[in-house]
Structure 1
Amino acid sequence: MNWSEVISWIKSIAMAVIIAGAVRYFLFSSIVVHGESMAPTFENDDKVIITKTTKVNRFDQIVFDAPDADEHYIKRVIGVPGDSIEVKNDVLYVNGKATEEPYLDENRDGLMPGEKLMGDFTLKEKTGYDRVPDGYLFVMGDNRRVSKDSRAFGLIPENSVNGEVQLRFYPLSSIQTY
């Protein structure tokens, strides 16, 4: 092997590393789920792929920088800018309309008669705002009884969002796109 061949290999490997780094930084990333706040949608140690190029919409599952810790949280977007949020008798109201949340059914099935997943609240009570302000999101975990979310730490800045969950790839028996 001559020097020009070695240099060619080094250039090829360097270019591959640069491209892989750019894709990871700008387009996609993998995240490991920690905790049970999104159960049963996501379980502890699930591995997901997030995309960093999509627009975040209500009910998307996102990964964001935790406002109260040096880590990432995965939660569901409940309120986008302009939304009013209220929970009464375990029913979520977005902009005054009752909203179905089928992703909570499994958690509701485990409740005793008369038990609730979450207490009643309004957006104003939790954040001081009547509506989600521009540049912010209101998020909650699907496991509402244990989730530390906007009910505890308030609104999150949209610029703290790392990406939207697109794919669970581990465990292999639970591969799913979102």
Structure 2
Amino acid sequence: MRVYVPDQIVNEHVKSQRSSKSIVGWIPFTIIIILLFFIFRFAIGIEIINGHSMNPTIENKSVLFVNKIFFTPKRGDIVVIKDPHGYNIIKRIIGMPNDKVIITNGIISVNGQPLKENYTRGESVDVPEVIVPGGEVFVVGDNRSAGESLDSRDPNVRTFSIQAISGKAVFSLYPFHSLH
């Protein structure tokens, strides 16, 4: 005995199977997109620099790759800091908690030892000795020319909480080069 099944019923069944396969096909893509979102949101980041405070190391409009979780801040690191106004700023850590930082004749000394800095531009103004509080860091821009960098040298700014550091700049994507 032959059963007649109208073409319309067969076509609807085939369409239904294709539709469910199509939805299942989107699941891996959706999972990948969600994972990428979380990686870029919490583990790595991209920062576009606006300003000249880190010249000559980092140019205006540079695009930086930032490590957000796998680092421990240390002296010499270039870090992204969320300032009290909610802006991301980029500076170099000069003083760690309990360090004594002083700038005399344009030379920065930490705990009585002058820093060897071959990455700066301009000459810093003098700053009386600052003892960096626990849980905070003393940061400066590499461009030490007057008015180019609002950083820890300013008595209204001074130090930043380590908790305000949102990441360490690893390298410049554009123009491409490592950061030191």
The interval holding the TM-score normalised by the smaller chain is 0.7 to 0.9
Partners of 2:166 and 2:60 lie apart in 1 by: 19
Answer whether contact 2:107 2:124 (CA < 8 A) is retained: no
Q: Which residue of 1 aligns with 2:73?
A: 56
Q: Which residue of 1 aligns with 2:59?
A: 43
How far is the alpha carbon of 1:5 from its aligned partner? 1.9
Residue type matched to 1:40 in 2? P
How far is the alpha carbon of 1:4 from its aligned partner? 2.6
Question: Higher helix share goes to which structure?
Answer: 1
Q: Which runs of 5+ in 1 are unaligned?
A: 109-116, 125-130
How far is the alpha carbon of 1:3 from its aligned partner? 2.2
Q: Deviations over 1:2-23 (max 9, x none)?
A: 1232222221121011110121
Q: Which runs of 5+ in 2 are unaligned?
A: 1-14
- Does the C-alpha gap of structure 1 residues 59 and 44 become closer, same or farther in structure 2, counting only changes over 3 Å? same
Q: Which residue of 1 aligns with 2:3?
A: none
* Rg larger for: 2
How far is the alpha carbon of 1:177 from its aligned partner? 5.0
How far is the alpha carbon of 1:90 from its aligned partner? 1.3
Partners of 1:155 and 1:66 lie apart in 2 by: 11
Q: How big is the alpha-carbon RMSD for the aligned residues of Structure 1 and Structure 2?
A: 1.5
Structure 1: which 4+ aligned runs deviate by more than 2 Å?
A: 174-178
1:9-48 equivalence runs, <5 A: 9-48=25-64
**What's the secondary structure of 2:119's corresponding residue?**
helix
1:147-158 equivalence runs, <5 A: 147-152=149-154, 153-158=157-162
Count of matched residue pairs: 159
Q: Which residue of 1 aligns with 2:11?
A: none
Residue type matched to 1:98 in 2? P
TM-score normalised by structure 1 residue count: 0.83
Q: Deviations over 1:17-43 (max 9, x none)?
A: 111012112211000011000001001
TM-score normalised by structure 2 residue count: 0.82
Residue type matched to 2:139 in 1? V
Q: Which residue of 1 aligns with 2:178?
A: 176
Identical-residue share of aligned pairs (%)? 29
Q: Which residue of 1 aligns with 2:126?
A: 120
